[in-house]
Amino acid sequence: MLRYSLKRLVQGVITVWFIATATFIAMHSVPGNPLANEKAVTAEIRANLEAKYGLDKPPFEQYLIYMGNLARGDFGISFTQQNREVNDIIREHFPVSATLGILAIVFAGLGGVLWGALTALYRNRLPDIVIMFLVILGISVPSFVVAAISQLSIVNLNALFDMSLLPVAGWGTIWHMLVPSLVLGLGTMAYLTRLMRSSMLEIVNADFVRTAKSKGLPATRIFTNHQLRNAILPVITVLGPSIAAITTGGFVVEFVFAIPGLGRYFVQAVQQLDYTVIMGTTVFYGAFLVFMVIVVDLLYGLVDPRVRLE
Amino acid sequence: MTEATFDPKDFEPIVHTRQVQSISRPSLSYWQDAWIRLKANTRALVSLYIVIGLMAFTILGPIVWSIDPSLQDLDQISIPPGADREATLVQSYIPWDGTTLLEVSPGLRLAEPATTQSVRLLWDPIDGLSGYRIFRNLFPVGPERALGLPLAENFSSRDVAFEDRLDLRPGRYYYSVLGVNESGDESGYLETLVVNVARVITFDEALSRGLIDETADLKEGDTLTLGLHPLGTDYLGRDLLARLMSGARVSLFIGICAPFLFVAFGVIYGSAAGFVGGRFDQGMMRFADFVVALPFLLFMILFKIVFGIGPGESGIAPMLLAMVILLWPATARLVRGQILQIRQEAYISASQLLGAKTNYLVLRHMIPNTMGVILVTLTFAVPSAIFTEAFLSFIGMGVAPPTPSWGSMCNEGIKTMLTHPHELIFPALLISITVLAFNLLGDGLRDALDARMRSTE
C-alpha cells in the first residue's frame, strides 16, 4: 500500500512536470511579446520583469528559471494587475471555487447514488421512467443553459412572491451557493445516476443478495448493507474524472452567476492575456486534478478490499 | 446358380428426395445483423432520423431559407417569433418644440401618439422644484421604484417636455418623471406613464430597405408588412433561423470533423502500439497517459491563444487542431487494447500460417474487427465535441464573431435573456437535441454492434 502510494505520488509529480512544461511551451509559442502591448510598464519595471523571468535569455534558460520558481511554489506576478502575485490570486479565489465544487460533488454523489438506486429498484416502472428521462435531459443540456434557465427561474420566482427568496447572483451566504452548486453538479449527477443504475441492476439478483433474502433479512437492511454498498463501488472510481469535470464546469457557472472563483479569474486572465496568471492557474489546476485522481484511486483501494494495490 | 441380372438403372445415383439440412434464414454479415438490431431499437432509430434531419437542416436549410445570416433588419431588432410585422408609414422626422397637438389632460401625458420615431412626453409644472429627471424602464416600476434607464434631466421647473428618440422598439415602456429639488435630491414628485410604442417607418427608410419602390402609390398612415423572420431576430436584427442554419454548419462541422480526426489518429497510434508491442508500446502508452493528464478545457483555451485568431478568421481550424492534439489518447488506448486481444485469436494465427503479411493482418483483420468499437467511440465523441465547442464559444474562447455557432449564439442570447428569451432558447434547444440524438444513437449502436458492451437496460 505504502509502496503503491509512493509510486503513484512520483508518477503524479512527473505528470505535473509534464503539464508545467507543456504550459511553458504553449505560452512561449504565443505570437508577440508579453511586455510589448503593456503601456503602463516603465523602463525600470520592464528591466525588473526581464531580469526576474530572464526574458532576455535564451528559451531554455527561461524554462529553467520558470521551473525553479515553480519548484519553490512561486507562480509569479500578474501582468495586468499591479503588485498582485499569482499565489495571492489563487489563495483568494480558489477557496471559493473549491467550496462550490465540493458542494457540487456532494450533491452529485448523493443524488446520483440515490436516484440510481431508486431507478434500479423500480425498474421499468414510473419512477424509473421519469428519473431516466430527467437523466437524459441532464446529460444533453449544456450547463450554461441550465445555469441561465435556473437564474431566470429565480428571477421569476422572486417576482412571483414579490420578495427576495434566493439571490440571483453573487457570493457570500449559503443561499448564494445553493443554486450554482446544484447546477454545477447536475451533469455529473445525471452521469452517476446512470452508472449507479446499471451497477445496481447487476447486483439486485446477485447470489449474496439471494442468500441475505433467504436468511430472512428485512428488505431495507438488504438494500442498505448489501446492495447499496456493493453497487456504489463503480461510482467511486469515476469520482476522480468527475472532479475534473466539475472543476472546469465551474468556469461557466461562475461566469453566469458572477461568483468570484478561480475559474472566472482564469477566463478573465485569458481575455486580458495575463501570461503569468494563465500559466499559474493552468499548472495549479493541473496539479490539483492529478492529485485528486490519485487520492480517489487510493481511496478505492481502501473501500474495496478486492482491489489489490500494487 | 442363378445369374444376377442388372439393370443399367441400378447404377444411377439415388436422387435425394428430402433435404437433410436447410438454412432457414439467410446468412447475415456482422453489419447486417447490427443494422437489424438497430432497427429494432426505436429510440436509436428516432435518433438516427433526428441526426439525418439535422444534416438536412444544415445542408438543405440555407437553400430553402436563403436569407443572409449577417444581414441586419434594422426595423426588427430582437423580434420574437410570430411578432406583428406591420409598420405604419409616416413623414420624416420633424423636430418638436414642446407644444402639443393632443388634448391637454393633467399629469404626465403623451403629446403625440407614441411611435418608434419619437415618444413626446408632457407634464404639469410644479413650483418649487429645480428640475425633473426622466427615466424609462422595460418593466413595471414596482414598489422598489426601479425606474430603469435615466434618459435626461431638465433643469427648470417650467421645462416640462421631453422627447425620447433613443433606440425605441415597438412594445411597452414605463416612463417615469421624478421631481428634483433645490439641493439636487429627489422630491416627492414621481409620475409613471405606461406607453405603448407603435412601429412606424418613413418613406425614405422604406425605400432604402427595398420595401416599396418609387412608383408605389402609398400615403401616410398606410401599413407596410416588414420582412418575415420565422424564429425572430437577434440583438442586431439578424435573422435567427438563417443564423441557426449557418451556426449548425460550424457546430456540426466541428462536432463531426474533430471526432473523425482524433479517432483516426488514435486508431493509427493505438494499432501501431498494440501491434509492435514491447518497449515501443510501453513508451507510446506512457506518453498517451501524460496527454490524458492535461486538464482538457484549460489546454483547449491555451491552444486557442497559441494558434491565435487573425482578423477575419473564424477560429474553427485552431479549435479542430487543439481537439485532435488533446483527445486522441482515449481512442488510442481502446484500439490498443482491442488489438492486443485480437492478436491472441486463432484466426490471426491461421492467417499468419497461410503467409499473411503484417499490413494485411492489420488492415484486413484487426481494424475491421475493432470497427464496431471505433464507431461507438466516434458516435459518443460527437456530442462531447459539440459540447466543447459550445462551452468554449460560450465563454468567448471559441468561434470568433461574426461567424455564428450555436455556442456563441447562446453567449449572445444570455445577455438579453430577461427581455428576449428566444435568442437563448433556440440555439440551446438545438444543442440539446443534437447532443441527445447522438447520445441515444451511440447507446443503440453500442447495443447493436458489441455484445460485450451491451448495456443492462
- Which ipTM score applies to this complex? 0.80
CB-based contact, B418 to chain A, within 8 Å: yes
Whether the CB-CB separation of A143 and A186 falls below 8 Å is answered with: yes
Q: Which three cell numbers stand for residue A221?
A: 437492511
Flag whether pLDDT at B457 surpasses 60. no
Q: Identify which of A236, A62, A50, A200 has the alpha carbon closest to the alpha carbon of residue A118.
A: A200
Q: Which pLDDT value is given to residue B104?
A: 60
CB contact under 8 A, A251 and B294: no
CATH architecture of B89-202: Sandwich (2.60)
Give strand pairing partners of B86: B225
Q: Which residues pair with B121 in a beta bridge?
A: B110, B162
Instruction: For residue B428, give the chain A residue with the closest CA.
Output: A145
User: What is the per-residue pLDDT across A196-209, written as a single tens digit (0 to 9) for each?
Assistant: 888 888 888 788 88
Which of B297, B304, B397, B438 would you mutate first to test chain A, the one with the most A CBs within 10 A? B297
Q: Which of B4-8, B23-27, B261-265, B270-274 holds the top average pLDDT?
A: B261-265
Neighbouring residues of B430: CB distance < 8 A, sequence distance ≥ 6: B244, B248, B406
Among the partner-chain residues A148, A162, A286, the one whose CB lies closest to the CB of B424 is A148
Dump pLDDT digits (tens) for A32-48. Answer: 665 555 555 667 767 77
- Measured CA to CA, the distance from residue B290 to residue A23 in angstroms comes to 13
In this prediction, residue B456 has a pLDDT band, given cuts at 50, 70 and 90, of: very low
User: Crossing angle, helix B422-449 and helix B367-394, to 10 degrees?
Assistant: 170
Identify the pLDDT of residue B412: 84
The answer to whether residue B455 scores a pLDDT higher than 60 is no
**Strands B171-180 and B223-225, sheet pairing:** unpaired
Q: What is the per-residue pLDDT across A206-229, written as a single tens digit (0 to 9) for each?
A: 888 889 889 888 888 888 888 888
Q: Give the pTM.
A: 0.79
Closest CA to B446 of B388, B380, B392, B356: B380
Does A252 touch chain B if contact means CB atoms closer than 8 Å? yes
Please provide the average confidence, as pLDDT, over all residues in chain A. Answer: 81
Highest mean pLDDT among A101-110, A154-163, B234-243: A101-110
CATH topology of domain B44-68+236-453: MetI-like fold (1.10.3720)
Model pLDDT, residue B311: 61
Task: Write out chain A residues lying below 8 Å of B414, CB-based.
Answer: 144, 148, 256
Domain with CATH 1.10.3720.10 in chain B: 44-68+236-453
Q: Give the best residue of A7, A17, A145, A202 to mutate against chain B (max B CB count within 10 A).
A: A145
Phi-psi region of B98 (alpha: psi -120 to 50; beta: other; left: phi over 0): left
In chain B, positions 281-300, which contact chain A (CB-CB < 8 Å)? 289-290, 293-299
* A27:B306 CB<8 A: yes
Tell me the pLDDT tens digit for each residue of A277-298: 888 888 888 888 888 888 887 8
Per-residue pLDDT band at B312 (split at 50, 70, 90): low
Question: Cβ contact (<8 Å) for A267 and B418?
Answer: no
Task: State the burial class of residue B54 (Cβ atoms within 10 Å of its Cβ: 0-12, 13-18, 19+).
Answer: buried
Q: With contacts defined as CB-CB under 8 Å, which chain A residues touch B406?
A: none
Which ranges in chain B are annotated with CATH 2.60.40.10? 89-202
CATH class label, A95-272: mainly alpha
Q: Per-residue pLDDT tens for B40-52?
A: 888 888 889 998 9
Q: Which residues are within 8 A (CB) of A215 and not within 5 positions of it... i.e. 6 or more apart?
A: none
Is it the case that residue B309 has pLDDT exceeding 70? no
Interchain pair B435, A140: CB under 8 A:
yes
Segment A161-166 mean pLDDT = 72
Q: Which among A11, A140, A256 is the top mutation candidate for probing chain B, defined by the most B β-carbons within 10 Å of its own β-carbon?
A: A140
To the nearest whole number, what is the mean pLDDT of chain B?
Answer: 80
The pLDDT-based confidence of B184 (bands split at 50, 70, 90) is confident
- The residue of chain A with its CA nearest to that of B440 is A136
B396 has a chain A CB within 8 A of its CB: yes
Q: What is the pLDDT of residue B49?
A: 92
Indicate if the pLDDT at residue B103 is higher than 70: no
- Which pLDDT score is estimated for B261? 92
List, as ranges, residues 163-202 from A with C-beta within 8 Å of B.
198, 201-202
B153: closest CA of chain A, how far (Å): 30
- Residue carrying the nine cell digits 493541473: A286
Peptide bond into B402 cis (omega under 30): yes
Instruction: Please state whether beta strands B149-154 and B86-90 pair in parallel, antiparallel, or not at all (unpaired).
Output: unpaired
The stretch B391-406 carries a mean pLDDT of: 81
Among candidates A30, A148, A152 on the partner chain, residue whose Cβ is nearest the Cβ of B306: A30
Our CA-based measurement puts residue B252 at a distance from the nearest CA of chain A, in whole angstroms, of 15
Q: Provide, as residue numbers in chain B, all residues whose Cβ is less than 8 Å from the Cβ of A142.
A: 387, 390-391, 394, 410, 428, 431-432, 435
Report the pLDDT value the prediction gives residue B157, as an integer from 0 to 100: 76
Distance CA B436, CA B178 (A): 52
A 10 A CB-CB count for B214 gives 5
In the three-class reduction of DSSP (H, G, I as helix; E, B as strand; rest coil), residue B172 is classed as strand
Say yes or no for a CB contact (<8 Å) between B414 and A256.
Answer: yes
What is the average pLDDT across B379-402?
83
Residues in B touching A244 (Cβ below 8 Å): 295-296
pLDDT at B328 over 80: yes
Give pLDDT, residue A19: 86
- For B429, nearest residue in chain A (alpha carbons): A141
The DSSP code for B12 is S
Residue B418: its chain A contacts at CB < 8 A? 152, 155
**Cβ–Cβ contact B194 with A under 8 A:** no
Q: Determine what percent of chain B is predicted with pLDDT higher than 90.
A: 2
pLDDT band for position B415 (cuts 50, 70, 90): confident
Cβ-Cβ contacts under 8 Å, A145 against chain B = 410, 424, 428, 431-432
| Residue A201, C-beta contacts closer than 8 angstroms, at least 6 positions apart | A120, A123, B456
